């Protein structure tokens, strides 16, 4: 027993103070952990996501779509599943980029495509269709420049195959650069037989006779 009765309530008060401090500390730590977890988790997501960008005249510049989009507040970046990007241009063929995964930077200036990335540039009057494959590609939609430091395989119809490591593609300037280990396989298309058939020759001769 305590010799001084006043010490008992003082001891109880100290015990309650310590208990309250311990509870507050644990609650704050749990709240901080939950806050970090919440910031690392997506704050919203969309399915069948489509975003369209137009120029001042209302013409479509590019379309970015994905099967699923998730936004993460921790770094303000956007994650994409099966992204599809289409770049349009006046009086020139459009370019499409596909991938299994994608990510958009916080300011929207850079789009990263990864895993089974495919770039298809449609045929024009002067150039055949071109297809490029790689495992990672960064695209700057506003400047229309795409680049990678990974191995690439480029196929151009009818039978040209180009391989290399590291590539820069400028869609606006219509140029492509390969930097290392470049190999080109080119098959000359078969010559067209321009000799006229006997029937055609006869028709021509008849026309000349007239």
> Tens of pLDDT along the chain (210 residues)?
445 566 666 666 666 666 676 666 666 666 556 555 555 678 888 999 998 988 888 888 899 999 999 988 888 889 999 999 998 877 778 889 999 999 998 888 899 999 999 999 888 777 888 899 999 999 998 888 999 999 999 998 888 899 999 999 988 888 888 999 989 887 776 666 655 444 443 443 333 444
DSSP 18: H
The reported pLDDT for the residue numbered 117 is 95
The reported pLDDT for the residue numbered 74 is 80
The reported pLDDT for the residue numbered 165 is 95
CB 111 within 8 A of CB 85: yes
The label of the residue with tokens 């480029």 reads: 154
The reported pLDDT for the residue numbered 57 is 83
Question: What is the number of alpha carbons within 13 Å of residue 37 lying toward its C-beta?
Answer: 6
What are the residues whose beta carbons fall under 8 Å from the beta carbon of 81, sequence distance 6 or more?
66, 67, 68, 69, 100, 101, 102
- Which secondary structure element, helix H or strand E, spans residue 21, and what is its range? helix 7-40
The reported pLDDT for the residue numbered 97 is 94
Other Cβ atoms closer than 10 A to 210: 4
């Amino acid at each position: 027993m305590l010799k001084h009765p006043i010490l008992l309530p003082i001891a109880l008060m100290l015990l309650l103070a310590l208990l309250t401090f311990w509870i507050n500390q644990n609650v704050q730590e749990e709240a901080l952990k939950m806050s970090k977890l919440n910031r690392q988790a997506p704050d919203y997501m969309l399915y069948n996501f489509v975003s369209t960008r137009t120029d001042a005249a209302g013409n479509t510049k590019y379309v970015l779509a994905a099967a699923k989009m998730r936004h993460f507040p921790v770094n303000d970046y956007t994650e994409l599943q099966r992204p599809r990007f289409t770049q349009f241009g006046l009086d020139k063929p459009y370019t499409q980029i596909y991938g299994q995964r994608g990510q958009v930077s916080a300011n929207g200036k850079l789009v990263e495509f990864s895993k089974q990335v495919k770039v298809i540039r449609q045929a024009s009057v002067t150039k055949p269709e071109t297809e490029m494959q790689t495992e990672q590609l960064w695209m700057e939609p506003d400047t229309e420049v795409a680049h990678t430091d990974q191995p690439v395989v480029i196929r151009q119809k009818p039978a040209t195959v180009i391989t290399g490591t590291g590539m820069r593609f400028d869609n606006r300037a219509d140029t492509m650069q390969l930097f290392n280990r470049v190999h080109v396989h080119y098959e000359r298309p078969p010559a067209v037989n321009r000799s006229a058939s006997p029937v055609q020759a006869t028709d021509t001769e008849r026309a000349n006779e007239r």
